[in-house]
Amino acid sequence: MRLHQGEIVELAIRRNSINISEISRRMNVNRRSIYNWFRRDSLKIETICEIGYIINYDFSQDFPNEFAKDGFAIVERFMNEKNGVTDPVNSVHFWMNKYITLLEIHNDMLSAQNLEPENLTLRDCS
């Protein structure tokens, strides 16, 4: 029998011995809401991320499809909100994507000149 999302979240909480009252306080919801989530087939990814953050648990292994939809951008957005980062230019994800894009452009330019990145010497770059 396959567990639904609420049951998986409940198991993670209970395994980490985190008090439901503490989770409800930190999430700013009542305890009844959390118990209702345990009975639901599906939960919002934001809720899963917030619970994971509180109990220090990575739900990406339990819900690979949900995390694959947006990559880990949803987790990063959640963490930015928690840490008060409102400017996406300051986010790690923003700079990582920028770096990868520039690296791909650089490699395309090297390929266009028939130069392989691993065969370059300082003389070739001048």
Which positions ≥6 away from 72 have C-beta within 8 Å?
60, 93
Can you tell me the mean pLDDT for 104-121?
73
Residue 20: band (very low, low, confident or very high) from pLDDT cuts 50, 70, 90: very high
Q: What would the pLDDT profile of 51-84 be if each residue is shown by its tens digit?
A: 988 898 988 888 888 777 665 666 667 666 666 6
Residue 121 has pLDDT above 70, yes or no: no
CA-angle at 6, arms to 69 and 13, nearest 5°: 105
Give the model confidence (pLDDT) of 34-60 as tens digits: 999 999 999 988 899 889 888 989 888
Q: State the pTM of this model.
A: 0.59
